Structure 1
Amino acid sequence: MSLLLDGRRPTIAEVEAVADGTEVALDPGVLERATAGRLHLEEMVAARRLIYGVTTGYGPLAGCYVDPDRSAELQRNLIYHLASGTGDPLPRRTVRAIMFVRLATLTRGHSAVRPESLQCLVDWLNADLVPVVPERGTVGASGDLTPLAHIALALMGEGEVDDNGNRRPAGEALAVRGWEPWEPAAKDGLALVNGTAAMTGIAALNAAGARRAVELAQRLTVAAAEVHGARLEAWRPELGELRPHPGQQAAHARLNELAAGSQRLVAAEPAWLPDDLDGVGEAAEVPQDPYTLRCAPQLFGAVLDALEWHHTTVSREVGAVTDNPVFLPEADAVIHGGNFYGQHIAFAADTQVNALVKTAVHAERTLARLTDERRNDGLPPFLQGNQTGLNSGFMGAQVTASALVAELRTQAHPASIQSIPTNADNQDVVTMGTIAARKAADVLGMVEELLAIHALALAQAVELRGKDGFSPATRGLHEAVRATAGFLADDRPLQPAIAALTRRLRDPADPLHHLP
């Protein structure tokens, strides 16, 4: 079934669906608006209106007039000079998301792009023909000029494509299908390369993945609390009512929901001083749990609030009109402005990075307590399942988790403030939004690896405790993990299990993300 584009802003879930292979279709009204917008542009050009990028040069060369008769050459040269990216190719899933976000923007009817150009993007998405796009080269100022230019270049039959997993010249892939290369004219080239589609496409996938990662982190926290026999008192909803951050209230509710039915968590009961206390005495146990358990609603609450801001910001940007210039056919107007400026996404991506890194820190600290025989409430050291000393259990995996946190912390420096003047000082303050979004994607990937280690260790701890009394949520999580890796009795390489579980965490359709 195709996803219909009718000029509305798509959801983040729809961006992810198209990234993962869902086909798209255009509502007839979209093509009608595109035709009207194109006619409006042609009328302006015939009247010899000065229109940036159509009858002028680009950037600081906008002071150069260009005869409308050479518009096609002007559009091609725009794509040629911008196709200068470096680095490894972006993942094909990411490129599909970028193409869809750009297509959604163009369907809004304010870009003066030909209907044929819209259909070209649709055809490429539905054929799963994916341009090879270098990951580096955009400062996120006049939008994502460089990566979008590589997409446009492929549509023109130049550059390279990923053709169902095979890298080949774009012209060759078109010839095999009997397709003609796309030929940009008037504003077509500028319409495809201008705007925030690359940073927004990446950020949309990050938004969806981050929500799944934090949901898993909360499940793992409940499992850890059960393993340690933690106290439910600190998760009482009244604490969230007294400190009314929406995320904290949601975290209280979710943690309690996941803990429902557990016989291993300690209900809140009044405690009393001993009758024979004379001055100072020592309690049998500390009446509060460590922060990884006691402050979980506050930590995850702040994370959820940060991710919600990111999610809201990206949702608004998906399908927003981020061109320059912008056309208003009903008002016979063309507006030159800066909607391509990606600061919203840059700030949101950096905020998401901080939230994800803190989630990883929490997971690593919980794992460290779980594997330390001095602090794990009677479990064997490093959760080894047989013959301590001969076997080392999760010792190496815990070190890997520490290394991941160290690397994650190096990624926490914000990209959104790294403005550097460029383009002959025409772009004198820039956003680095795509760098921020790419960095967030890298961070999310490492967090998923760390959560995979944590999940494997917690499944081991649940079995070492004897599975009786655990909540249905934790039993379901344990079974889901065991579908990938069995109990660790004698030492074996854990890398294959970590990699396999990480792949599952990255798959939106995996049953692990749909547990009750």
Structure 2
Amino acid sequence: MHDGRLTLDEIEAIALGNMALALSESDRRAVEKAHEFLCDAIERRQLIYGVTTGYGPLATTHVDPMQSALLQKNLVYHLCSGVGEPLSRPHVRAMMAARAISLVRGHSGANPALVERLLAWLRADLIPEVPSRGTVGASGDLTPLAHLARALSGEGRVSLKGGEWMESAIAHQQLGWQPLLLQGKDAISLVNGTSTTVGIAALNATGAQRAIKLSTLLVLLYTELLEGHREAFHPAIGELRPHPGQRKLHQWLWSLSESSQLLTAWQAASVPLPEMENGIEQHRPLPQDAYTLRCAPQALGAVWDVVEQHAQTVRLELNAVTDNPLLFPDNDTVLHGGNFFGQHLAFASDHLNNALIQMALYSERRIARVTDPLKSKGLPAFMQPCDTGLHSGFMGAQVTATALVAELRSQAIPASIQSIPTNADNQDIVPLGTIAARRASTSIDYLYQILAIEALVLVQGAELKGAHLLSQASQAFCAWVRTHAPTLEQDRPLAEDIARLSHALSDPDEVASLMALLDPQVC
């Protein structure tokens, strides 16, 4: 790690198994120093929550340091109460990486051997079975992280290199490792933080950023098919309402649309009115377009700003220390506080979720307009040009997009305001950030399915209208889509096409060439 910190793209690469996580010498020294300070404090029989006391409302019980290993073990045992389907492999790997990043900051006191083992698990692609439900995110992600701690101790189930679940003890034997003995502050350092939430949120951040860029390319292609007015993309419009996201969308769409032969060109000179009888002339072409075309920079620009706000919150949290108590070796100080309280991530995830749902709605509305022959500038109904009526084209796929948006809307109630007191009223407010992050992750999955449907529809329309007239960016996008799904000539089941294309759209490596269309210097 450079300066003990990682970017969101790096966390995603680690989560997908495309990058290793390694400690620098300064990281190792920080971990060792904090652990030595903790050991000295324990030897001096200092009162430290969760190390020489019980947990939560049971912290009134003082525990002799001789009981350290049993205290840590019992913490893990009573918290291993998660339910539901397991978190995905990328989510668990992101969680593990996030926990390691927090521990190496040198304020947790975890044993260096624990940190090294976490990194070894990531290198070996060994992940624990972590139930997805059971945390309120108040003392951090106690429940899911406890399932990680249990697996590190040689219990529970794990998966090696994406294989079937097996007993952790068997995996340890296969790898020639001894299970860890958690003692001192090891278990509470593992579980008492926001690493599950921030790991999921980090993947949400990168997935949402790509979704906006893909939506921008789809908006461009959609506007070309409907012969929209390029004028709406003019950067001068964004300069007068200088939200960063709107300005970025104006710049992208204005630049990418320059080579299009289908858009209604902008004329710098004013257009005079024609001579009119009786002072009026009716049924003339509209001088401006429907809002899905005209307001695209404003609509997607607002989403971009929300995504960036969410990403900034995640960046800060990812590189923070979020357990309790916190050790300050240089000052010979132990501070008890609440950095584990995941309210920032809860608010950010709920805000992101609203933006994701709105982006899905925009996509569904574009699909609806372009497949309607009354509004699609000559394109056939549901993009089926041959024997329409005998064949229905993308009619079913359009209904699927509508159903997905309806389901997303039903999941739009914020999690961050649903606080329910728990833990004998010790946790009398809870942020529920993990639920919010998981919900946003589900919304991203649905969004990519809708974008896949839109891509299939629009590329079919481009081929019908004349792909050679498209902008260079749209031509490249169409060619990319056709490497994943063939043209729809006669009706066929589309479920597999949608699944394959949505997976490709969500894969950072697969869409790298498309991202480079918008940010060639960066991507």
TM-score, normalised via structure 2 length: 0.96
Paired with 2:329 and 2:51, the residues of 1 have a C-alpha distance of: 16
Asked if the contact 2:350–2:416 (Cα under 8 Å) also holds between the matched residues in 1, the reply is: yes
Question: Do structure 1's residue 495 and structure 2's residue 466 form an aligned pair?
Answer: no
Question: Do structure 1's residue 388 and structure 2's residue 385 form an aligned pair?
Answer: no
Among 60, 77, 80, the residue aligned to 1:63? 60
1:217 alignment counterpart: 215
Paired with 2:349 and 2:40, the residues of 1 have a C-alpha distance of: 41
Displacement of 1:254: 1.0
Question: Do structure 1's residue 114 and structure 2's residue 131 form an aligned pair?
Answer: no
Paired with 1:44 and 1:498, the residues of 2 have a C-alpha distance of: 58
Question: Do structure 1's residue 128 and structure 2's residue 121 form an aligned pair?
Answer: no
2:225 maps to a residue whose letter is V
Deviations 1:133-167 (A, max 9, x none): 00000000000000000011000010100112221
Correspondence 1:353-368 to 2 at 5 A: 353-368=353-368
Deviations 1:294-349 (A, max 9, x none): 00010011000000000100011112100100000000001100000000000110
Paired with 2:107 and 2:258, the residues of 1 have a C-alpha distance of: 51
1:412 alignment counterpart: 412
1:300 maps to a residue whose letter is L
1:153 alignment counterpart: 150
Question: Do structure 1's residue 457 and structure 2's residue 457 form an aligned pair?
Answer: yes
Asked if the contact 2:468–2:475 (Cα under 8 Å) also holds between the matched residues in 1, the reply is: no
2:46 alignment counterpart: 49
From the superposition, tell whether residues 20 and 484 of structure 1 become closer, same or farther in structure 2 (CA, over 3 Å): same
Displacement of 1:268: 2.3
Paired with 1:271 and 1:427, the residues of 2 have a C-alpha distance of: 66
Task: Provide the secondary structure at the position in 1 that maps to 2:165.
Answer: strand
Deviations 1:429-465 (A, max 9, x none): 0000000000000000000000000000000000010
Deviations 1:24-67 (A, max 9, x none): 22122222222211121122122221110001000011111001
2:190 alignment counterpart: 192
1:268 alignment counterpart: 266
2:34 alignment counterpart: 37
Deviation larger for 204-213 or 276-285: 276-285
Deviations 1:208-240 (A, max 9, x none): 011111110110000010001100111111111
Displacement of 1:395: 0.5
Correspondence 1:73-152 to 2 at 5 A: 73-152=70-149
From the superposition, tell whether residues 6 and 57 of structure 1 become closer, same or farther in structure 2 (CA, over 3 Å): farther
Task: Provide the secondary structure at the position in 2 that maps to 1:278.
Answer: helix
Task: Provide the secondary structure at the position in 2 that maps to 1:25.
Answer: coil
Task: Provide the secondary structure at the position in 2 that maps to 1:288.
Answer: coil
Displacement of 1:271: 3.2
CA RMSD, aligned part only?
1.1
Task: Provide the secondary structure at the position in 1 that maps to 2:468.
Answer: coil
1:328 alignment counterpart: 328
Deviation larger for 372-381 or 38-47: 38-47
1:293 maps to a residue whose letter is L
Displacement of 1:514: 3.8
Displacement of 1:281: 3.1
Paired with 2:497 and 2:442, the residues of 1 have a C-alpha distance of: 20
Asked if the contact 1:12–1:205 (Cα under 8 Å) also holds between the matched residues in 2, the reply is: yes
1:235 alignment counterpart: 233
Asked if the contact 2:367–2:457 (Cα under 8 Å) also holds between the matched residues in 1, the reply is: yes
1:436 alignment counterpart: 436
Paired with 1:214 and 1:29, the residues of 2 have a C-alpha distance of: 38
* Percent of residue pairs identical: 51
Deviations 1:447-484 (A, max 9, x none): 00000000000000000101121100000000001111
Deviation larger for 26-35 or 166-175: 26-35
Deviation larger for 7-16 or 95-104: 7-16
Asked if the contact 1:7–1:107 (Cα under 8 Å) also holds between the matched residues in 2, the reply is: no
Task: Provide the secondary structure at the position in 1 that maps to 2:166.
Answer: strand
Among 1, 12, 16, the residue aligned to 1:16? 12
Asked if the contact 2:152–2:179 (Cα under 8 Å) also holds between the matched residues in 1, the reply is: yes
Question: Do structure 1's residue 174 and structure 2's residue 155 form an aligned pair?
Answer: no
2:287 alignment counterpart: 287
2:111 maps to a residue whose letter is R
Paired with 1:409 and 1:206, the residues of 2 have a C-alpha distance of: 18
Displacement of 1:7: 4.8
- Structure 2: segments with no counterpart, 5+ residues: 518-523
Asked if the contact 2:227–2:264 (Cα under 8 Å) also holds between the matched residues in 1, the reply is: yes
1:255 alignment counterpart: 253
Aligned length: 512
Task: Provide the secondary structure at the position in 2 that maps to 1:224.
Answer: helix
Paired with 1:306 and 1:316, the residues of 2 have a C-alpha distance of: 16
Asked if the contact 2:213–2:515 (Cα under 8 Å) also holds between the matched residues in 1, the reply is: no
Paired with 2:183 and 2:69, the residues of 1 have a C-alpha distance of: 4
Question: Do structure 1's residue 469 and structure 2's residue 466 form an aligned pair?
Answer: no
